[in-house]
Structure 1
Amino acid sequence: MFDWNKYRGDLNERLAQLGKLTPSTMQGVAALAQAGEKTGHLDAKTRELIALAVAVTTRCDGCIAFHAAEAKKAGATADELAEALGVAINLNAGAALVYSARTLDAFDKA
């Protein structure tokens, strides 16, 4: 399987380089990341589980690498992760279902 710790470290190095090239972009991304924490409506574990479900639906390995580590730090369990991933799987299936209906419509109108 994949070495997620090495990948996360390598990605951090490249992102640091990107930060030197475009610091305002990286500051903007950091501000977005911190915005959810400021409301206090969701705890860190819940935010990280949501982030992982979204990472799966957007197929972002970097997001998975970072948020898996943060979820574990925040106390997420394997059972909680499995439930969040179940939501992601359902959402992907639901999206495929909706786009299947759109495809039938496009086919009928062709």
Structure 2
Amino acid sequence: MWVDWKNTLSSLRKAASVLAEKNPPLVKAYQGLNKSLGEGKALDAKTRELIALAVAVTTRCDGCISSHSAAARQAGATAEEVAEALGTAIALNAGAAYVYSARAMEAFNQFGE
């Protein structure tokens, strides 16, 4: 196992709470941006999380991978759907996306344990 993704997500949330305490307007604005995505009608939550996970891979953001792996699992995504979404990231980002896709699959599977 490369990373303990559940611990990564927990650590991220703790660190983010410190940021929220020190800069509430910034965090409120960020939360508003994320909330607005849930108000869309064209994409369901699972599709949005699959897209977000693929983007997390291309941007190499471990915090994003942990967060969106958990959210994709919660939204009902299957391992096959995650693998297909990650295939798009790989096609767009080649080698680096391949390595981070392996990391994202590991994260997704850990949230199923």
Give the TM-score range, shorter chain: 0.7 to 0.9
Unaligned runs of 5+ in 2: 95-113
Match of 1:108 in 2: none
Counterparts of 2:40 and 2:86 in 1: how far apart (Å)?
A: 25
Match of 2:57 in 1: 56
1:38 is paired with a residue of what secondary structure? coil
Match of 2:108 in 1: none
CA displacement, residues 35-62 of structure 1 (integer Å, 9 cap, x when unaligned): 1111221100000000000000000000
TM-score with structure 2 setting the length: 0.80
Q: Which is higher, the Rg of structure 1 or of structure 2?
A: 1
Match of 2:36 in 1: 35
Counterparts of 1:7 and 1:50 in 2: how far apart (Å)?
A: 20
Counterparts of 1:37 and 1:8 in 2: how far apart (Å)?
A: 21
Counterparts of 2:40 and 2:78 in 1: how far apart (Å)?
A: 24
Match of 1:6 in 2: 7
Per the TM alignment, residue 7 of structure 1 is displaced from its structure 2 partner at its CA by 1.1
* Aligned pairs for 1:1-110 within 5 A: 1=1, 2-93=3-94
1:39 is paired with a residue of what secondary structure? coil
Instruction: Answer with 43-52 or 26-35: which moved more.
Output: 26-35
Per the TM alignment, residue 22 of structure 1 is displaced from its structure 2 partner at its CA by 0.4
CA displacement, residues 46-97 of structure 1 (integer Å, 9 cap, x when unaligned): 000000000000000000000000000110000000000000011113xxxx
Counterparts of 1:22 and 1:80 in 2: how far apart (Å)?
A: 37
Relative contact order (alpha carbons < 8 A, sep ≥ 6): 1 or 2 greater? 2
AA of the residue aligned to 2:73: K
1:56 is paired with a residue of what secondary structure? helix
Counterparts of 1:7 and 1:26 in 2: how far apart (Å)?
A: 19
